[in-house]
Amino acid sequence: MVDVVLQCLNEHKYIQVKETVREMHYADVAEVFERLEDDETARLLFRLLPKDIAAEVFSYMEAEDQERLISTVSDKELRFILDELYLDDYVDLVEEMPANVVKRILKNSSPESRKLINQYLQYPDDSAGSLMTNEYVYLKRTTTVNQALGVIRATGVDKETINKCYVLDSRHHLEGVVTLRDIILADPDCVMEDIMRTSVISVNTNEDQEEVAKMFYKYDMLSMPVVDNENRLVGIITIDDVVDVVQEEVTEDFEKMAGILPSEDTYLKTPVFTLFKSRILWLMVLMVSAMVSGALMTRFEGAIAALPLLVSFIPMLMGTGGNSGSQSSTTIIRSMSLDEIELSDFFRVWWKEVRIAVLCGAALAVVNFARIYFQYHDGVIAMTVSLTLVVTVVIAKSLGCILPMLAKRLKLDPALMASPMLTTITDACSILVFFMFVMIFLGDKL
C-alpha cells in the first residue's frame, strides 16, 4: 500500500491517495513520508490526510521527517498536531528537535502543555520519568462499576490506555489498580475497593529505564504506574515505549561489545565524521595496548631469528585465544544482563568455564599436533604449540568470565570487557605463554 500511495502521489491522483491512506495503518503512512524525497510533496500529502489521522501519523514518524514537516506547516496546523499528541510523544518531540524548532513548538503550545513539558523534561534521560505519560484514567475507592464506566466513557477518549485504571486517594496516593476487564466482568454495583488489586507493582520516577524494562518482562505487564517518593501517582509507562527502549539498549550493547561508542541515530543518517569519532577511541586504546604484545616479542628476537618458523604459529594462537575468550565473555555478559547469572555465582561460572576450556583446548590441541607433526615431522615443536594452545584457551576463557564479572563488581559496565579489550589481553597472554614454552622445550635449539 505504501508503494501505491507513492505512485498515486507521483501521478497526482490525490483522491485515490486520500482513499488509500484511510485504509492504512498510521505506521505505514509514516513510512510513506519517510520515503518521500521531496519536501513539497510531503507537505501536500500531509494536507491530504484527514485531521485526526494526520496527528496519529505524525507520532509514528522518524524525528527527521517530523522536523521537515514542522518547518513546512502553518502555525495553525502545528497547533492542531500538538493538541492531538500524547504527552510522552510531545516530550519526545521537544527533546529531539533542534533549538529553533523547539522554540516554534513551545510558542504554539498551550500554557498548561508548556508547564507539563518543562516538568517532564526535568527527569533524567534514562529514567522512568522520561518515558511516562500523564494520560491515564483514575478512579476512587468508592466509585461503583457503573460510575467507573461513566468516567471512562467521559474521559477515556484522550487517554493513552484505558485497559488499566488507577485507584487514588484524595491526595493522589496510589491505592490500587483495576483493569478494564475487571470492571466489565464485575457486578455493576461493586465498588472499586472490592475489585481492585492493592499490591500494585510500580516504579519510582528515577528508576533506570533498563530496570523498568526488566520489570515489564518479568511481570508480563502492558502498562506500569510511576510514582514519586511519596507514592503519589505521577504518570504511567506503556509497553510500546518500553519495547523501543529495549531495542535501543540491545543496539547499544552490540556497539559497546564491538568497541564502538553508542550513537543516537540510525547508521545511514549518521554523518561519516560522527561515526569516525564513535569508533576511533577504542581503536586507538586497543592499538596502544596491542603494542605491549609487540614489545613482549622483541624480547624473544633471538629465538625468532634462530627459528623463524615459530612466528608462523602466532596468528593461529592469537586468533584461537581471542575467539575462545570472546565466546565466554559474550555468554557471561549476556547472561548477566538477563539476570541469569549473579555475582554470587562467580566460582560456579569460573569452574564451568575452566572445564569447557580444557575440553576445547584438548580437542584443538590434538588437531594441531597432528597437523604440525605431519607437516614438519617435529614432535617437540608440535607439542610446544599444542601445549600453548591448551593453556591459552584456559586463560582466555577464564579471563572471559572473570573480567566482565569483575567489571560488574566494580560497578563498571561489563561490556567494557567484551571481545575487543579481552582479545587484546589474551593476545599478550598467548604470546607470553608461547615463548615461555619455547624457551623450556626448544631452548637448546636456539
Judged by CB, which is closer to a copy of itself: 126, or 156?
156
> Is 63 an interacting residue with respect to a copy of itself (CB under 8 A)?
no
Residue in this structure with the C-alpha cell 565473555, named with its chain if needed: 329
> Is 445 an interacting residue with respect to a copy of itself (CB under 8 A)?
no
Site string for a copy of itself, 380-399 (x = CB under 8 A): -------------x------
Q: Minimum CB separation from a copy of itself for residue 115, in Å?
A: 27
Judged by CB, which is closer to a copy of itself: 71, or 323?
323
> Is 319 an interacting residue with respect to a copy of itself (CB under 8 A)?
yes
Using CB under 8 A as the binding criterion, the count of chain residues that bind a copy of itself stands at: 111
Helix axes 14-23, 2-10, angle to 10 degrees: 170
Q: Report H helices in 156-300.
A: 180-185, 192-195, 209-218, 239-257, 272-298
Residue in this structure with the C-alpha cell 518515558, named with its chain if needed: 131
3-state SS assignment for residue 139: strand
Q: Minimum CB separation from a copy of itself for residue 297, in Å?
A: 4
**Please, are residues 24 and 51 in contact by the beta-carbon 8 Å criterion?**
no
> Is 92 an interacting residue with respect to a copy of itself (CB under 8 A)?
no
> Is 359 an interacting residue with respect to a copy of itself (CB under 8 A)?
yes
Judged by CB, which is closer to a copy of itself: 43, or 434?
434
**Please, are residues 348 and 330 in contact by the beta-carbon 8 Å criterion?**
no
> Is 231 an interacting residue with respect to a copy of itself (CB under 8 A)?
no
> Is 370 an interacting residue with respect to a copy of itself (CB under 8 A)?
no
> Is 368 an interacting residue with respect to a copy of itself (CB under 8 A)?
yes
Of the residues 341, 383, 402, 429, which one makes contact with a copy of itself according to CB under 8 A? 341
What's the distance, Cα to Cα, between the start and end of the chain in Å?
Answer: 74
> Is 206 an interacting residue with respect to a copy of itself (CB under 8 A)?
no
> Is 331 an interacting residue with respect to a copy of itself (CB under 8 A)?
yes
Task: Please state, in angstroms and rounded to a whole number, the distance separating the CA atoms of residues 364 and 395.
Answer: 15
Rule CB under 8 A: which of 273-312 touch a copy of itself? 273, 275-276, 279-280, 282-284, 286-288, 290-291, 293-295, 297-298, 301-302, 304-305, 308-309, 311-312
Query: Identity (one letter) of the amino acid at 338?
Result: L
> Is 156 an interacting residue with respect to a copy of itself (CB under 8 A)?
yes
**Please, are residues 237 and 123 in contact by the beta-carbon 8 Å criterion?**
no
Task: Please state, in angstroms and rounded to a whole number, the distance separating the CA atoms of residues 438 and 430.
Answer: 12
Q: Minimum CB separation from a copy of itself for residue 419, in Å?
A: 6
Q: Minimum CB separation from a copy of itself for residue 101, in Å?
A: 23
Computed over its alpha carbons, how large is the radius of gyration of the chain? 30
> Is 442 an interacting residue with respect to a copy of itself (CB under 8 A)?
no
Q: Report H helices in 11-136.
A: 14-23, 26-35, 39-48, 51-60, 63-72, 75-84, 87-96, 99-107, 111-121, 128-131
Task: Please state, in angstroms and rounded to a whole number, the distance separating the CA atoms of residues 107 and 328.
Answer: 54
Rule CB under 8 A: which of 232-261 touch a copy of itself? 239-240, 243-244, 246-247, 250-251, 253-255, 257-260
Of the residues 14, 104, 334, 413, which one makes contact with a copy of itself according to CB under 8 A? 334
Q: Considering only CA atoms, which of 242, 270, 273 is closest in space to residue 63?
A: 270
Task: Please state, in angstroms and rounded to a whole number, the distance separating the CA atoms of residues 97 and 34.
Answer: 17
Piece of the chain touching a copy of itself by CB under 8 A; list 85-93, 116-124, 361-369, 434-442: 361-369
> Is 352 an interacting residue with respect to a copy of itself (CB under 8 A)?
yes
Residue 83: CB partners within 8 Å, gap ≥ 6? 55, 110
> Is 152 an interacting residue with respect to a copy of itself (CB under 8 A)?
yes
Taking the CA atoms of 289, 290, 293 and 297 in sequence, report the sign of the dihedral they define.
Answer: negative
> Is 439 an interacting residue with respect to a copy of itself (CB under 8 A)?
no
Judged by CB, which is closer to a copy of itself: 50, or 319?
319
Piece of the chain touching a copy of itself by CB under 8 A; list 64-72, 101-109, 121-129, 197-205: 197-205
> Is 176 an interacting residue with respect to a copy of itself (CB under 8 A)?
no
Rule CB under 8 A: which of 208-227 touch a copy of itself? 216-220, 222
> Is 191 an interacting residue with respect to a copy of itself (CB under 8 A)?
no
> Is 367 an interacting residue with respect to a copy of itself (CB under 8 A)?
yes
CB atoms within 10 A of CB 183: 23
Of the residues 163, 206, 262, 440, which one makes contact with a copy of itself according to CB under 8 A? 163
